[in-house]
């Protein structure tokens, strides 16, 4: 295989998050240290131990066709919003449909539809259940809608690997191009599951922060006083292109997707193991042809759980070292589960492109067991050549991505 097939660049970016309805507003809010986390005002949260979440800054129904939106789950809606922005940002590449693929990961798929239509069934009977229920709840729905929108016939794929789904989707996009199966891949992650049952489940597992009185301060990765993550919703999508294909159409490249590593722990259904994380990072570096010393920045998975942050600390220290700057933007967005890896990739791409790393919010006192160079207090500016981003999920899923200057 020729070297040009292996060289993959990022030409389009799209997002809708608790910080903003697009990439520009999300990135500006990250750099400003703003929080997208607030109280849940609905009555259904009154009896829950957790009443905070990272809700979308902009509603997808404001930009989608009304009839189309009614036939889509929220996670499908926001995936399409992010994909449209990314496609436009890439200049709407003219590519053969059979050479265009879509990979959109999600952790829970159409959970809101599943829960909502079950309530309808119980309360009103089968005749009131929507005929669109199945295509709205199926996990492959977001990838399918995006492929239909863009006319992509090179495959519509859906990694479902919990909180690593979005990053694994981007890794799969890299593989599709390197293997010569596509010239352009639209890849990312989406999640929308802010509802009583998921929140209650995470609360019972003691994984969710209970700082209901201070929502904006609740997510605090690496802080000594952290007490869990905050549930969030959102989507992020990137357009990946074979470098030669992008160059032939004079496309601008935000960054180069230099490498990816995907592993599984085979250890425990919820507890992470450092060995799997270390292997993912090392595989990503090998894929990129880089050494640990080449990595100047790490966007950490860092969800703000007491144990998870320490496991990742040990993993990064072992696989990369103590020299890179480290940040955790979940401190501002909350944990977007299946979309988290894609949002992390977005932050890493922009850090490399713009030469600035957002600070980790709410880091008042660094956990003494964390020896990493965690950026806090304000953005850190300076040219970056290579950045690595981590995503880890329940089930022992690990995905690491490496981005460099194009």
Q: Which two tokens stand for residue 224?
A: 């000594």
Distance of CA 79 to the CA centre of its chain: 11
Catalytic residue among 75, 157, 163, 208: 163
The pLDDT of residue 2: 40
Q: How many CB atoms lie within 10 A of CB 275?
A: 15
In the chain, what are the domains? 8-249 (3.40.47.10), 260-404 (3.40.47.10)
The pTM assigned to this predicted structure is 0.97
Q: State residue 162 phi and psi, 5-degree precision.
A: 55, -130
The pLDDT of residue 103: 98
* Nearest in space to 277 (alpha carbons), one of 166, 392, 121: 392
Alpha carbon distance 119, 104 (integer Å): 28
What's the chain's average pLDDT? 97
Catalytic residue among 254, 299, 335, 397: 335
**Which run of H or E residues covers position 11?**
strand 8-16
pLDDT surpasses 70 at 357? yes
The pLDDT of residue 1: 35
pLDDT surpasses 60 at 3? no
282 Cβ neighbours under 8 A, 6+ residues apart? 261, 319
Alpha carbon distance 77, 65 (integer Å): 10
Q: What percent of the chain has pLDDT over 90?
A: 98
Output helix, strand, coil percentages for the chain, rounded to the nearest 5: 40, 20, 40
Can you give the three-state secondary structure of 298-343, one letter per residue? EECCCCCCHHHHHHHHHHHHHHCCCCCEEECCHHHHCECHHHHHHH
Q: What percent of the chain has pLDDT over 70?
A: 99
Per-residue pLDDT band for 107 (boundaries 50, 70, 90) equals: very high
Q: Which two tokens stand for residue 17?
A: 């998050």
Q: What is the pLDDT of residues 7-56, one digit of tens each?
A: 999 999 999 999 999 999 999 999 999 999 999 999 999 999 999 999 99
Residue 335 designated active-site: yes
Q: Which two tokens stand for residue 155?
A: 């495959």
Q: Are 345 and 399 in contact (CB under 8 A)?
A: no
117 Cβ neighbours under 8 A, 6+ residues apart? 129, 130, 133, 137
User: What is the per-residue DSSP string for 52-102?
Assistant: EEE--SS-GGGTS-HHHHHTS-HHHHHHHHHHHHHHHHTT-----GGGEEE
Q: What is the pLDDT of residues 134-191, one digit of tens each?
A: 999 999 999 999 999 999 999 999 999 999 999 999 999 999 999 999 999 999 999 9
* Nearest in space to 29 (alpha carbons), one of 41, 17, 46, 40: 17
The pLDDT of residue 6: 75
15 Cβ neighbours under 8 A, 6+ residues apart? 22, 23, 26, 82, 85, 234, 235, 236, 237, 343, 346
DSSP 391: E
Query: Rg of the chain over CA atoms, in angstroms?
Result: 20
Q: CB-hemisphere CA count at 13 Å for 344?
A: 39
Q: How many CB atoms lie within 10 A of CB 332?
A: 27
The pLDDT of residue 4: 42
Alpha carbon distance 210, 225 (integer Å): 12
Residue 75 designated active-site: no
Catalytic residue among 254, 299, 301, 397: 301
Residue 193 designated active-site: no
Alpha carbon distance 74, 238 (integer Å): 19
The pLDDT of residue 17: 98
Q: What is the pLDDT of residues 293-334, one digit of tens each?
A: 999 999 999 999 999 999 999 999 999 999 999 999 999 999
């Amino acid at each position: 295989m020729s070297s040009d097939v292996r060289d993959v660049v990022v030409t389009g970016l799209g997002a809708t998050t608790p910080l903003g309805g697009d990439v520009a507003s999300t990135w500006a809010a990250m750099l400003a240290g703003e929080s997208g986390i607030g109280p849940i005002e609905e009555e259904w949260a009154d009896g829950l131990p957790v009443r905070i979440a990272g809700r979308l800054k902009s509603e997808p129904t404001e930009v989608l066709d009304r009839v189309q939106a009614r036939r889509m789950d929220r996670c499908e809606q926001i995936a399409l919003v992010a994909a449209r922005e990314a496609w436009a940002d890439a200049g709407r590449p003219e590519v053969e449909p059979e050479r265009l693929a879509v990979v959109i990961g999600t952790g829970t798929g159409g959970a809101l539809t599943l829960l909502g239509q079950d309530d309808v069934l119980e309360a009103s009977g089968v005749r009131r259940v929507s005929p669109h229920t199945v295509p709205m709840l199926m996990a492959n729905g977001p990838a399918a809608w995006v492929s239909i929108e863009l006319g992509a016939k090179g495959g519509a794929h859906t990694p479902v690997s919990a909180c690593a789904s979005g990053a694994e989707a981007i890794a799969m996009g890299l593989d599709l191009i390197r293997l010569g199966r596509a010239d352009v891949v639209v890849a990312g992650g989406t999640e929308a599951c802010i509802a009583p049952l998921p929140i209650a489940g995470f609360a019972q597992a003691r994984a969710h922060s209970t700082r209901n009185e201070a929502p904006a301060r609740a997510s605090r990765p690496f802080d000594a006083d952290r007490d869990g993550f905050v549930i969030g919703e959102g989507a992020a999508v990137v357009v990946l292109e074979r470098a030669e294909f992008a160059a032939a159409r004079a496309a601008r490249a935000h960054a180069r997707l230099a490498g990816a590593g995907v592993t599984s722990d085979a250890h425990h259904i919820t507890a992470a193991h450092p060995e799997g994380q270390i292997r993912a990072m090392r595989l990503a570096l090998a894929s990129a042809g880089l050494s640990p010393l080449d990595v100047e920045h790490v966007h950490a998975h860092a969800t703000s759980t007491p144990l998870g942050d320490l496991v990742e600390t040990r993993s990064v220290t072992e696989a990369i070292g103590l020299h890179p700057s480290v940040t955790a933007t979940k401190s501002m967005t909350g944990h977007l589960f299946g979309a988290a890896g894609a949002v992390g990739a977005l932050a890493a791409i922009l850090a490399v492109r713009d030469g600035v790393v957002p600070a980790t919010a709410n880091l008042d006192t660094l956990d003494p067991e964390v020896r990493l160079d965690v950026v806090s207090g304000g953005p850190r500016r300076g040219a970056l050549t290579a950045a690595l981003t981590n995503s880890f999920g329940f089930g022992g899923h690990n995905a690491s991505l490496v981005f460099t200057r194009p």
